[in-house]
């Protein structure tokens, strides 16, 4: 019997964050201890609101959502409404959440869970900028020896940048936080653009979500005449796909953040190598660049599993099968 993995989802929803959260909540192998919101794709007040909307859509009001950091460690916040819309979840509108924002600081929640659970049992699943995680390490450096792993979506090597010529958005927003995390000694698994740009939302794949009936409880909960969970997911994909298809000239948009959760559920779908990754924080041209020593030419010790390939068909099979259970 597969042992349940304890995870904390740190996120800045974002449509692809939303799909990742749904995948986690639909998977019994994962025990979601908390969702901690961070400013990123949109400001914090929207990311924690969106996180609660997603939990309610999945019928999981039992999962506590906390607000974390509202700005990067050392820079002004950069957001991405031009991709995700003014709400961060543009597409089919979801009702305002009824579940309250949980009391307490999301950073302290991360620290408390890591310290109170047995050492080496809590994985941090990071779908946005690394501000909350770096702040937790500043407040309580001892958690570095207790975190099982950090699995994050961020960075790039072969695909270079998506917000600047050199940098991927999540790392670019708070490179100082990323630098602190990559220097922490915690085991890190990186799902960069090199992987996510191979997980494209083709028309056939999006159609599978749109045709999804969803679980009986979900249909009853959403009510007659309301869109199914599959239609909601398809509308999210349609919205942000409009930007990426034009940008990359591909047949679909990259579905970034669900790769983090998929790795936890089925690591065999991904391939990469252990390399050293450093974060550029000074250069105005390459700020936020993930300098991945893919060819191992520096002699620096590996500090991350940097993934490069994914079985895209199996990845989408997993998404549709699991989310279809909600």
For the 5-195+256-310 domain, the top CATH level (class) is: alpha beta
What letter does residue 105 receive in the DSSP assignment? B
Task: Spell out the domain ranges in the chain.
Answer: 5-195+256-310
One digit per residue, pLDDT tens: the chain, 326 residues? 568 999 999 999 999 999 999 999 999 999 999 999 999 999 999 999 999 999 999 999 999 999 999 999 999 999 999 999 999 999 998 999 999 999 999 999 999 999 999 999 999 999 999 999 999 999 999 999 999 999 999 999 999 999 999 999 999 999 999 999 999 999 999 999 999 999 999 989 999 998 886 555 555 555 555 788 999 999 999 887 765 555 565 678 899 999 999 999 999 999 999 999 999 999 999 999 999 999 999 999 999 999 999 999 999 999 999 999 99
Check if 256 is active-site.
yes
Beta bridge partners of 5: 30
* Per-residue pLDDT at 230: 92
* Count of Cβ atoms closer than 10 Å to residue 119 Cβ: 12
The CA distance from 170 to 12, in Å, is 10
* Per-residue pLDDT at 214: 57
What letter does residue 269 receive in the DSSP assignment? G
- Residue 158: exposed, middle, or buried by beta-carbon count in 10 A (0-12, 13-18, 19+)? exposed
Q: How do strand 30-37 and strand 5-11 relate by DSSP bridges?
A: parallel
| Helix, strand, coil percentages, rounded to 5, for the chain | 40, 15, 45
The active-site residue, picked from 48, 113, 197, 256, is 256
Extract long-range pairs of 26-29: CB within 8 Å, 24+ residues apart.
26/58, 26/322, 26/323, 26/325, 26/326, 27/261, 27/265, 27/322, 28/4, 29/2, 29/4, 29/5, 29/264, 29/265
């Amino acid at each position: 019997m597969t042992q349940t993995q304890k995870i904390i989802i740190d996120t800045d929803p974002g449509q692809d964050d939303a799909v990742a959260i749904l995948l986690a909540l639909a998977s019994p192998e994962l025990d979601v201890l908390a969702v901690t919101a961070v400013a990123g794709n949109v400001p914090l007040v929207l990311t924690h609101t969106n996180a609660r909307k997603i939990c309610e859509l999945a019928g999981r009001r039992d999962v506590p959502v906390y607000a974390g950091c509202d700005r990067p460690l050392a820079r002004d916040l950069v957001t991405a409404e031009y991709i995700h819309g003014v709400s961060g979840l543009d597409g089919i509108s979801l009702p305002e959440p009824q579940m309250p924002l949980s009391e307490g600081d999301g950073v302290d929640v991360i620290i408390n869970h890591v310290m109170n659970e047995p050492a080496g049992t809590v994985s941090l699943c990071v779908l946005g900028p690394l501000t909350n995680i770096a702040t937790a390490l500043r407040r309580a450096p001892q958690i570095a020896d207790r975190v099982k792993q950090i699995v994050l979506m961020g960075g790039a090597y072969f695909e270079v940048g998506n917000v600047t010529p050199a940098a991927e958005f999540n790392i670019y927003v708070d490179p100082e936080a990323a630098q602190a995390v990559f220097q922490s000694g915690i085991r890190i698994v990186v799902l960069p653009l090199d992987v996510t740009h191979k997980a494209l939302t083709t028309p056939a794949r999006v159609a599978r979500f749109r045709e999804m009936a969803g679980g009986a409880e979900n249909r009853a909960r959403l009510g007659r005449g309301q869109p199914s969970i599959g239609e909601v997911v398809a509308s999210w994909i349609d919205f942000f796909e409009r930007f990426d298809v034009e940008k990359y000239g591909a047949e679909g948009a990259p579905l970034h953040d669900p790769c983090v959760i998929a790795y936890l559920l089925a690591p065999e779908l991904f391939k990469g190598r252990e390399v050293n990754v450093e974060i550029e924080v000074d250069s105005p041209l390459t700020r936020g660049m993930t300098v991945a020593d893919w060819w191992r030419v520096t002699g620096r010790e590996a500090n991350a599993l940097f993934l490069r390939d994914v079985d895209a068909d199996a990845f989408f099979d997993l998404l549709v099968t699991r989310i279809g259970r909600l």
